[in-house]
Chain A
C-alpha cells in the first residue's frame, strides 16, 4: 500500500521543515490511515479481509457509526476493479467520549475497521489496484475533517509478500459478538427501558456490575450523556436510561451494541437487535409454529409412535383381537375402539398435566422426564416383561391373574380396551419421536389449555389406526382369518417385548449401580417364578394355598427390589464417549467465543432415536474423520437423568425433549460473526450430518 495523495483542508505541515518544533506544532495528519489486506497475494474468487487502521493523535478522537451528540462517522469510498465487491464496515465497540454536557461515541489511539473484499472468479494476471477515498472527522476541542486517497495493490510481483492475518484477527476479536438474545425497548415515562433476555443467569455473573455501556446504532433513542441504571433479574438484564429527543414511533428495530467488562477485567461487547415493543412480554414466539401446525405435527408424531418396537406388539395383538371380534356386533367393536382412544388420550393428557404442574412448580424438566426416574424405568421394565410372559403363554390360563394379560392386550371388553390405551401410552413415552419434539416443545411454552390440546392430539394420533380399524368393517375383513397361527404369532410378539424390557434394564444400568441392576434382574426372575407358580397350581386346596402364598411372596420381593429413591437427581455422566467431550453450558459458551465450529448433541440412554442416530450417523469413521478434518469441537450432553442445564438448552431451541443436534459454524474470518446455528433433523443420516457441517 502506498499513499499517493493526501489533502488536508486545514492543516499544513510545518513539522517536516522544522523538526525542533515538531513536538509543539500540529502533526500533518491527526489520523494516520493504513489499508491492511489480510494478504497481498490473492486468487480469483477469494474473499479477503481488509483492515482500515486509524492511528489517532494522542488526545484526539474519531467516531463510531452513530457518533453520539456531535461529530460524524468516517466514510470510505472504494474504487474497485470490475467484478469485485466490498462489504459493510464492521465497527469495533466504541468508547464513550464526554465533551462538556454532550456525549460522543468513538475511538482514540488506534482502531481498525474491517471490510470484506470479494474478488471475481477471473482476475487478471499482474497487479490489482484498489483505491479508498477516506473522509474522517477527528476532534479534540475542535474538529478537523481529513480527506485522503489511499491505494492498495494486490498481486504486485515487485512487492514483498504481506500477511496481516494475525493482526486483523486480533482486530476482529474486538468486534461485538452477535448474540441471539431477545431484546426489546420501550418508553416508560422519561426513560427508555431495555430488556435483554440472555437465557442464562450464568452469563451475567461473568460481567462486572455497572460496567455496561449501551450504544444504539440509531440516533435519538437515548439521551447520550444520561446515566444508565442496571438491574439483573435471573437471566434478564434490564437497563434504564433517560430517553432521547427522537420520537419513537419512527423507530422500530434498533441494532445495538452492549459493551461491558468481564470478571477477568477485559472489555467485551455483544451486538443484538432491540425491538420496539412491550418489554413485559419480550418472550418471543418460539421457532415452532402456530397452534394448528403444532396440532397436526402432534397427530403425525402420534401415528408414528405406533411403529415403535414396544408399542407395535401390543397393538398388533389388539388389532388381531378385532378379527376374532368380527363376529360380534359392529357397535361393540366401535365402542371398544372409542374406549381405547379414550384410554390413550386421557393418559397423554394426564402426563401433560403432570408435566405442566411440575414445570409451574419450577422443575426444569422436559418431555421424557418420566424416564429420568429409575423407579419408573424399572416399573416399565417389569411391565413389558410381564406382557412378554403373557404372550409366550407362561400365564394365560383362567384365574385371577390370568385375566390380567387378557385385559391388557386381548380382550374386547370396554375396560380392557381402555387399559390397552393406557398401556400403549406408557410404552410409547420413552423416546420423543420425530415430529413430536417440535410439537411438544411448542406445547410446553403455551398456556395450559393449549398444551393439553396438543398432548391430546398426540394421543389421538397414537390411537388413530386402531380407531379407524374399529370403525371400518371393510378393513377388519382384510385382517387374516383367525386360526392356530395366531397363537404362534402371539408368542413371537413376546420377543420385541422382552427386547424392550432388556433395553429398559440397560437404561436403568445408566441410572443405578451394579447392585441396583442385580436387584432388578432378580426382581424379573421373581416375577417369572410367581407367574409360573400360579400357572401350575395343584388341584388340592391346601397345596394351592401354599403355592399362592409363595407366588405372592415372589411378587412382593420383586416389588421390594424396585429402586426407590435412587440417585435420580444426579446428572448422568456421558457414557462411553468414544470421541468428543462432555457438554456443560460453560464449555459451550467458551467454545462459542472461540473461532472453531461446534457440534452439540443431546442424548439420553432411554432415547432409542438418539442411540440409533449416534451409531449410524455420528459415531462412524467417515463422520469422525470429517469432524477431525474441519476441527469441529463435539459436545455431548446426557439427559438420562434430570439435568436442568440440558433442559434449558433444549428450551432455548423450543424443544423439550431429546435428541437435538445443533451445528454452530466457524466464525467468519472476515466479519467475525458466526453463521446462524443450524438445527439438524431428529432422524440423522451420515449424509445429513456431512451436509450440515459442510455448509459452512
Chain B
C-alpha cells in the first residue's frame, strides 16, 4: 500500500473520528492528527508546519489541583526548559468549555503563562474542544510527544505518580523526558503509553 493511500485512509479515519461524539485516541506510532489554530499571541500554529522537530502537547487547566501540583512545584516549567534546550516545540492547550473551570480569554492566559514562568512555544485556547477530542485528551495534565516524522511517540501522564501531593514528584519517573531521551538516542520509547491522571478535561457542551 502506498504511503499516499495510507495517509488518505488515516485522514479519512480522522475525519470520521471528528464526526463521532465518542472520542477515540490516536494510536502510538501513527501520524499525530494535524490541526491549525490561532494561539494566544494571535499567531497561527499548525502542527504540520513543525515536521522535522519534536512537538509536545500539554493539556492544562490552571485551576486543576493536579496542574497546580506540577506548576507550583516548578516540575512542569523544568520539563519545558529541558525540552526547549533540546529544540522541542511545546504547545499548551486549554480545552475547557465556556463557563467551565479553566476557561480563560487570551489576556488571562498570557497572565497565567507569565505568572507561572512557563516556557511554551504556543498556548492555544480550544474552548470548542475540537483539538481535545482529536487527541482524546481526558485529563489535565495529559501529555503527548510527537517525533520529527510527525508520529505519536508518547501519550499519557506527565509522570509515574498519580498522587495530587506535590511531594510525590521526587522519585517519580518523568515519562515525557524519558520519551525525549529515548527518541534522541534512537531507541524505541520504553514507556509509550501510560494512564493519564488528573482532573477531567472540562469540555463544554
Contact = CB atoms under 8 A, between A and B. Distances in A.
A and B bound?
Answer: yes
Contacts of A246: 193
Contacts of A59: none
B197 A70 contact: yes
Contacts of B200: 69-71, 99-100, 102, 104, 139, 143
A242 B199 contact: no
Contacts of B150: none
A67 B164 CA distance: 14
Interface string A98-112: 011110100000000
B15 to A, nearest CB: 16
B48 interface: no
A125 interface: no
Nearest to B133: A101
Contact of A141 (B66, B100, B133, B193): B100
Nearest to A242: B22
B140 to A, nearest CB: 8
B65 A143 contact: yes
A345 to B, nearest CB: 58
Contact of B138 (A72, A102, A142, A143): A102
Interface of A: 9-10, 66-67, 69-73, 75, 99-102, 104, 135, 137, 139, 141-145, 147, 219-220, 223, 225-226, 242, 245-247, 250
B63 interface: yes
A627 B187 CA distance: 64
B196 to A, nearest CB: 7
A144 B65 contact: yes
Nearest to B202: A141
Contact of A135 (B139, B164, B193): B164
B18 interface: no
A415 B199 CA distance: 85
Interface in B186-205: 192-193, 195-203
Given A144-B65, A145-B65, A246-B193, A102 B164 contact: no
B65 A9 contact: yes
Interface of B: 21-25, 27-28, 63-66, 100-101, 133, 136, 138-139, 155, 162-165, 192-193, 195-203
Closest CB pairs A-B (n = 6) = A145-B164, A245-B25, A70-B200, A219-B195, A69-B138, A143-B199
A247 to B, nearest CB: 6
A220 B101 CA distance: 26
B201 A102 contact: yes
Residue of A10, A101, A135, A220 ringed by the most chain B CB atoms within 10 A? A101
A141 B199 CA distance: 9
Contacts of A135: 163-165
Contacts of A101: 21-23, 133, 203
B24 A142 contact: no
Contact of B201 (A67, A70, A72, A250): A70
Contacts of B203: 100-102
Contacts of A73: 162
A142 B163 contact: no
Contacts of B195: 66, 219-220
Contacts of A147: 165
A187 to B, nearest CB: 12
A220 B157 CA distance: 13
Contacts of B133: 101
Contacts of A250: 193
Contacts of A66: 195
Contacts of B164: 72, 135, 137, 145
A135 B200 CA distance: 18
A70 B198 contact: yes
A73 B164 CA distance: 10
Contacts of B64: 142-143
Given A139-B200, A242-B22, A220 B193 contact: yes
A250 to B, nearest CB: 8
B103 to A, nearest CB: 12
B136 A245 contact: yes
Nearest to A69: B138
Contacts of A71: 197-200
Contacts of A141: 100-101, 202
Contacts of B66: 72, 143
Contact of A223 (B22, B193, B197, B202): B22
15 contacts: A10-B65, A67-B197, A69-B200, A72-B66, A72-B162, A135-B165, A137-B164, A139-B200, A142-B63, A142-B101, A143-B200, A145-B164, A225-B22, A245-B27, A247-B192
B22 A72 contact: no
A71 B195 CA distance: 10
Contacts of B25: 245
Contacts of B136: 245
Contacts of B162: 72-73
Given A69-B139, A141-B101, A223-B22, A75 B201 contact: no
A29 to B, nearest CB: 15
Nearest to A9: B65
Contacts of A247: 27-28, 192-193
B23 to A, nearest CB: 5
A228 to B, nearest CB: 13
A417 B96 CA distance: 90
Given A144-B65, A245-B155, A70 B101 contact: no
Contacts of B139: 69-70
A461 to B, nearest CB: 56
Given A70-B201, A102-B201, A145-B165, 5 more contacts: A72-B163, A101-B21, A101-B23, A142-B199, A242-B22
B199 to A, nearest CB: 4
B157 to A, nearest CB: 10
A149 to B, nearest CB: 13
A540 to B, nearest CB: 101
Given A142-B101, A247-B28, A70 B193 contact: no
Contacts of B202: 100, 141-142
A78 to B, nearest CB: 16
A141 to B, nearest CB: 6
Contacts of B100: 141
B173 to A, nearest CB: 16
A268 to B, nearest CB: 27
A139 B202 CA distance: 12
A72 to B, nearest CB: 5
Contacts of A242: 22, 24
A114 B191 CA distance: 32
Residue of A72, A225, A246 ringed by the most chain B CB atoms within 10 A? A72
B152 to A, nearest CB: 11
B19 to A, nearest CB: 14
Nearest to B205: A100
